[in-house]
Structure 1
Amino acid sequence: MDSNKSFRLSAEANTHNAALRIIQSKGYKIFLYPGESDTFYGNYWAIQENRDFIAEDPLQLLGIITIWETNGNNWNGTDRRNLRDVIASRAFPNSVSDIEKLSDEDFEIQVKDYRLFFNRIFPKEILPENPTRQEFFDVISNFYKWDLEDFYEWEK
């Protein structure tokens, strides 16, 4: 596989069989505990020795198995940073003052990180070369509301 070629995989139903095959290859027995309503398919169970892993879909099941394989019974690990909140606060700043509180170094890192992300979504650069904190905030606060079809007109 060419490592320079772009690749994207998202969590969709067409990836469930691959996840189930990986779980099975790790030696787990997999079961479906049916849901009681027509709207809930059920929970997937992966069982191996004295370990049970339960999730609503095969991708979640593979994820929690991987968490356990990485951290063992101390599955939450020793690193207590709340990365979910850190990532969310970067994605949803309340105002430009949240961006202004960043050190120059942290701001540069965040711009670089989001430039990578935006370049995966949009066909053209959407951040100015050296954005001000206000310009950066304006893009972060609105990019997900934009119609991507408008951006692909740029390619014509």
Structure 2
Amino acid sequence: MEVNKSFRVSAEANMHNAALRIIQSKGYKIFLYPSESDAFYGHYWAIQEHRDFIAEDPLQLLGIITIWETNGDNWNGTDRRNLRDTIASRAFPDSVAAIENLSDEDFKEQVDDYRLFLNRIFPKEILPENPTRQDFFDVISNFYKWDLENFYEWENID
């Protein structure tokens, strides 16, 4: 595997066979419990010894198996932090005041984290070098609404 080469993958149907092969290689028997509805394919089951894992698609199935393999029967783990809400509150700050309430260290970390993320989405840097908290809020609150194809159209004006 080349580590210096860029790579991106997303959860799509063309990943299902890879997920199923991994699950099977771990020794699970895989079944599809068909749905009575034409709108829904059914649930995938992975069975091994006294453990049953059930999901709507192979990627979810691999995910819950991995969670169980990591945490065991205490699948929820011992770390009780609510990362989902933390990540969501970073993505959807209520106001610039939420950004202003961050310590300087937390603000710098958030800017660095989002710079990494935004540089994967946009072909050019969109965060100013040293953004104010208002600048940062404006970008975070709006970047997902921007038309990526026409975002840099202004550069083509003579």
TM-score class, shorter: over 0.9
1:75 is aligned with what amino acid? W
Which AA in structure 1 matches 2:139?
V
Q: Which runs of 5+ in 2 are unaligned?
A: none
CA RMSD of aligned residues (A): 1.4
- SS in structure 2 of the partner of residue 149 of structure 1: coil
4+ residue segments displaced more than 4 Å: 152-156
Separation in 2, partners of 1:135, 1:46 = 48
Separation (CA, whole Å) in 1 of partners of 2:75 and 2:22: 20
Q: Residue 65 of structure 1 aligns with which residue?
A: 65
Q: TM-score, normalised by structure 2?
A: 0.95
Going from structure 1 to structure 2, the CA distance change for 1:30 and 1:155 (only over 3 Å counts) comes to farther
1:124·1:151 contact (CA, 8 Å) conserved in 2?
Answer: no
CA separation in 2, counterparts of 1:152 and 1:3? 30
Q: Offset at 1:64?
A: 0.1
Report the equivalent of 1:14: 14
Identical pairs, percent: 87
Distance in 1 between residues matched to 2:28 and 2:139, nearest whole Å: 45
Aligned to 1:47, what secondary structure does the other structure show? strand
Structure 1: give runs of 5+ residues left out of the alignment: none
Paired positions, count:
156
Q: Out of 113-122 and 2-11, give the one that drifted further.
A: 2-11
Determine whether 1:91 maps to 2:85.
Answer: no
How big is the shift at 1:2?
Answer: 2.4
